[in-house]
Amino acid sequence: MTKTRRRKKKINHPERDMQARVFEECKYREGRYPDLEDLYAIPNGQYRPGFALEPGTKAGMPDIHLPVARGGFLSFYIELKMPGEEPSDTQLKVHKRLRAQGHRVDVYWSDTTAIAALCAYLKQPRTEIAQ
């Protein structure tokens, strides 16, 4: 009797793959834009069937955050979506709240436009923050 190996079913995560490309390219560009070193992912809204959100996570938060003040903004949040998808009502409410607090929040449908936006953001003058 021969043993058969079970293959793990490959799960398709196109938004996650897009996010990985953003981080890979930004890592490459840190020499030119050192503030990209502070870029991080916010794993709050990942859909996991049958699982509740982890304590401290919040649905609707954008995918990526750059806590660097530029161009009159306190920081830059990015929501990544696949072409044809739109942000949920929960996401739109969170985006509105973040904008009201002085953060830039944008939605992008490709990794290349998100990367270009991050670099353009970092070329802007530093936001003066009262101490």
CATH of the domain at 107: 3.40.1350.10
The confidence band for 14, taking pLDDT boundaries of 50, 70 and 90, is: confident
Dihedral, 107, 56, 74, 32 alpha carbons, nearest 10 = -70
Cβ atoms < 10 Å from Cβ of 35: 16
Tell me what pLDDT residue 2 has.
55
Residue 50 confidence (pLDDT): 55
Task: Kindly state whether residue 92 falls inside one of the protein's structural domains.
Answer: yes
The helix/strand/coil state of 47 is coil
**pLDDT, tens digit, for every residue of 97-108?**
999 999 999 999
pLDDT digits (tens, 9 = 90+) for 60-77: 999 999 999 999 999 999
Examine residue 80 and state whether it is found in any structural domain, yes or no: yes
How many residues are recorded in the chain?
131
Examine the pLDDT at 113 and tell me if it is beyond 70.
yes
Q: How much is the pTM?
A: 0.84
